[in-house]
Amino acid sequence: MRVAFLTAPEGVEQVELERPWQAVKDEGWEPRLVSTGRGPVQAFHHLDKGDTFSVDELVAESSAEDFDALVLPGGVANPDALRMDEKAVAFTRHFFGLARPVAAICHGPWTLVEADVVRGRTLTSWPSLATDIRNAGGTWVDEEVKVCHDAPGTLVTSRKPADLDAFCAALVQEFRR
């Protein structure tokens, strides 16, 4: 199984990239860092710079059809940049058109809002996104992890780094289906 991790060149929350990445690797699957820019990707520990990560593929040169699942890590700047990139938004939307599983944590659902794929779905996120999700036609819940099967495909969402154990467990379970 090939799993795309979509990030902008800067601003991804490091732990929200590394922990799901490791969960995917632990299953024997192939994680791939897909970015809107040529690497390296600069990760952050909240507001402080963290490590850098090499980009495997550019979103402009990739297709959702080449992957079995998508992970959208958070960090405030990362999804804010992704939702302004038409190719990243289209890439994300395409996963839903293919009914392939998607997982997003923290501010990651901002990209889902921009891709217009939350309508009719129930999801969670960092609390400041609740109004955006409702305005986009979704139902926001304050839960550690929410798995939604309300439309084609599966959506796994979580609120914050403290939810990563539940997020990774649900992501693995749903990606196995």
pLDDT tens digits, 25-46: 999 999 999 999 998 999 999 9
Out of 45, 94, 106, 148, the active site residue is: 106
Out of 45, 46, 107, 168, the active site residue is: 107
User: What total of structural domains would you count in the chain?
Assistant: 1
The 10 Å Cβ neighbour count of residue 60 is: 15
CATH number (domain holding residue 6): 3.40.50.880
Could you give the C-alpha distances from 15 to 63, 65, 139, 159, in angstroms and in order?
26, 27, 26, 13
Domain range holding 45?
A: 2-176
Global pTM value: 0.98
**What is the DSSP secondary-structure string of 124-162?**
---GGGHHHHHHTT-EE---SEEEE-SSSS-EEEESSGG
Q: 117-168: per-residue pLDDT in tens?
A: 999 999 999 999 999 999 999 999 999 999 999 878 899 999 999 999 999 9
Active site residue 107: yes
